[in-house]
Amino acid sequence: MEKKEQYLKMIVEDINPALANALRRAMIAEVPCLAIEDVWIVENNSHLYDEIIAHRLGLIPLKTDLESYVLPSQCGCEGEGCPQCQVAFTLNKEAIEGPITVYSGDLQSEDPEVSPASPNIPIVELVKGQKLVLEAYAKLGIGDEHAKWQPVTTCAYKYLPIIRIDYERCEKCEACVSACPRQILSFKNDQVQIQNAMNCNFCMACEEACIAEPEKAIQVSWHSTKFIFTVESSGALPAETIVLKACEILKGKLKTFQELLKNF
Ligand SMILES: [Zn+2]
């Protein structure tokens, strides 16, 4: 329905809620991305403690190249840290003349392909005479372990709505039009029109407002096998990559399950 680098809206058909939720959970908790895990503070006389700065660094989304890095648990170095499983960053800022703000863009990466998704995330403010010098190491991880490794900010689905209007019963009172908080309905050419049914969030305000008795002239329902997914990336990975990777992970899990059953 809509596709941008960091945003995807799509309809997935012929699945059930269990599978839709499995896909959602895989995108949130199983698709890996890079985040800062270890920080060595060389100098910090800012007003923030080392731990708070390290925490803030960990939450900065980093552009991730999944082809070039592996999870530390799957690396030949057994998690010790090597160029295959970690990226080093350095930061060296000092407020010499007056107050300055240290931003995510001040992090210098050893790999030009890996950088903060946005250079404008404030880390700390330094006043004259304060200095922040540190080394940081980013590693791949999954959201299941820590939210900083979640590649998505929004990842949700809802049923595909169906809005039906029985024009024979409709009294043209327009109550449903004004009741809808999402302006889905309008009154044109002497009848109620549905403009953007996709925006419906099933609040049922239109049904409640309808004065037709005993059966309402407007009825909201949904397709039980069709879902609208909204996926918004943190900037770590393109939204499309997150969806495809999640499918791959789900398939892998099913394959493992199949093999385990066979060998039981
Ligand atoms: Zn390694």
| Interval 211-246: pLDDT, tens | 988 889 999 999 999 999 999 999 999 999 999 999
Q: How far is the CA of 132 from the centre of ligand 1 (A)?
A: 28
Average pLDDT on 76-104 reads: 94
pLDDT 10s digits, 53-88? 999 999 999 999 999 999 999 999 988 889 999 999
Chain length of the chain: 264
Report, in this order, helix, strand and coil percent for the chain, each rounded to 5. 25, 35, 40
Residue environment code for 188-201, b if the CB has 16+ CB neighbours within 10 A, otherwise e: eeeebebeeeeebe
pLDDT 10s digits, 104-154? 999 999 999 999 999 999 999 999 999 999 999 999 999 999 999 999 999
Q: How far is the CA of 246 from the centre of ligand 1 (A)?
A: 23
Structure-token pair, residue 233: 């990336």
Q: How far is the CA of 70 from the centre of ligand 1 (A)?
A: 8
pTM of the model: 0.87
Q: How far is the CA of 98 from the centre of ligand 1 (A)?
A: 41
Average pLDDT on 200-208 reads: 94
Q: How far is the CA of 71 from the centre of ligand 1 (A)?
A: 8
Among the residues of 59-168, which ranges form H helices?
none
Among residues of the chain, what percentage have pLDDT more than 70? 100
Q: How far is the CA of 80 from the centre of ligand 1 (A)?
A: 6
For the chain, domains (ranges, CATH) are: 1-31+151-264 (3.30.1360.10), 33-148 (2.170.120.12)
DSSP string across 139-194: EEE-TTT-GGG--EEEEEEEEEEEEEE-TTT-----HHHHH-TT--EEEETTEEEE
| Whole-number average pLDDT of the chain | 95
Q: How far is the CA of 232 from the centre of ligand 1 (A)?
A: 30
Q: How far is the CA of 34 from the centre of ligand 1 (A)?
A: 14
Q: How far is the CA of 106 from the centre of ligand 1 (A)?
A: 26
- pLDDT class of 35 with cuts at 50, 70, 90: very high
Residue 255 has pLDDT above 90, yes or no: yes
In 3-state terms, what secondary structure has residue 41?
Answer: strand
